[in-house]
Amino acid sequence: MQKNALSSLVLGSLLSTLLLTSCSHKLAPSGNYQTTPVVADGVPDEWKLPLRFSNESYTLQYTVTNDNKNIYICILSRDEATQLRMLRNGMSVCFDPKGEKNKNISIAFPIRKQPEPDAYRNRSGNPITAADMKSRKEQLLLQSDYYNTIGFQHIENGQYALKDNKSDIQVAMKLNNEDSLLVYEAIVPIKDVLGADLSPKSESRNFSVGIVLNAAPGQGGGNGNYSRPSYGGMRGGMMGMRGMGGGRGNYGSSQRSAGAKEETDWYQFQLASGKNN
């Protein structure tokens, strides 16, 4: 009898271990807790470079952190073609509280601009120079003075000027000429995504942040509507982000040309707690 009881105990332990293992593999890794203050000003002083993640072509870096109140996003690029794509075609950051890949909650910034028929010529008709390109990016940045929101709790869907403080979201973008960086920063209150600040319940479930580089007009999702971002259906096969320095994941499509298709990268994680920091 003792032998049978011992065998049952061992078998029960093995089954419990297998059950826990089969459940735990579905949980995404814990994210990084933001221990230092972040100011959304387009200056990456608060972030350790290079950032944690990259797209497939390594033309874009990004990271996502959180504290008990906010989610923080930093995105940057040194690649000129990618910078122009971000500024001209527009970009969105999406949030999925269920850890999936839905775009129902998103910030669109920068907004897609009007097409440029003379994009590769300066005013004298000559090929564009580095100085012309810098001037053009600065002009596009000046035009990037508002953002669109959709799906957030406590925030009406619509358009907001960067400086009017009419929503709790803070977003900024700046061209840092000394190191040729285009830097995007956003601060999003957790309560506007989950309905409450960080809690044990929200810590224990998967959470996703997606970064969408819009397609150029006429390419994979470009619909000719230049005044508003596209919130349309996602193309199939979207996967996670690729980590730098140990991060893991897959990608959406990535192209550097002006006619690039939409590129979407998702980062799935659990919101981090400050208890152990």
pLDDT at 244 over 50: no
86-106: average pLDDT:
96
For residues 248 and 266, the answer to whether their CB atoms sit within 8 Å is no
Q: What pLDDT score was predicted for residue 245?
A: 35
Confidence of residue 250 (pLDDT cuts 50, 70, 90): very low
91-110: average pLDDT:
97
- Which range among 73-87, 106-120, 237-251 shows the weakest confidence by mean pLDDT? 237-251
Q: What pLDDT score was predicted for residue 55?
A: 92
pLDDT at 138 over 60: yes
88 to 10, 20, 137, 140, 241: CA distances (angstroms):
63, 48, 9, 7, 23
Q: Of the candidates 86, 56, 62, which has an alpha carbon nearest to the alpha carbon of residue 258?
A: 86
- Which range among 9-18, 161-170, 268-277 shows the weakest confidence by mean pLDDT? 9-18
Q: What pLDDT score was predicted for residue 218?
A: 56
Q: What pLDDT score was predicted for residue 230?
A: 38
pLDDT at 170 over 70: yes
What is d(CA 13, CA 133) in angstroms, rounded to the nearest whole number? Answer: 65
Q: Of the candidates 133, 119, 148, 166, which has an alpha carbon nearest to the alpha carbon of residue 228?
A: 148
- Which range among 86-90, 134-138, 205-209, 222-226 shows the weakest confidence by mean pLDDT? 222-226
Q: What pLDDT score was predicted for residue 178?
A: 75
Domain ranges of the chain: 29-270
Average pLDDT of the chain, as a whole number:
79
Helix (H) or strand (E) holding 17: helix 2-24
Confidence of residue 88 (pLDDT cuts 50, 70, 90): very high
**What's the pLDDT tens digit per position in 182-192?**
999 999 999 99
134-140: average pLDDT:
92
For residues 85 and 213, the answer to whether their CB atoms sit within 8 Å is yes
Helix (H) or strand (E) holding 140: helix 130-143
Q: What pLDDT score was predicted for residue 242?
A: 47
- Residue 2 CB partners (closer than 8 Å, separation 6+): none
For residues 224 and 215, the answer to whether their CB atoms sit within 8 Å is no
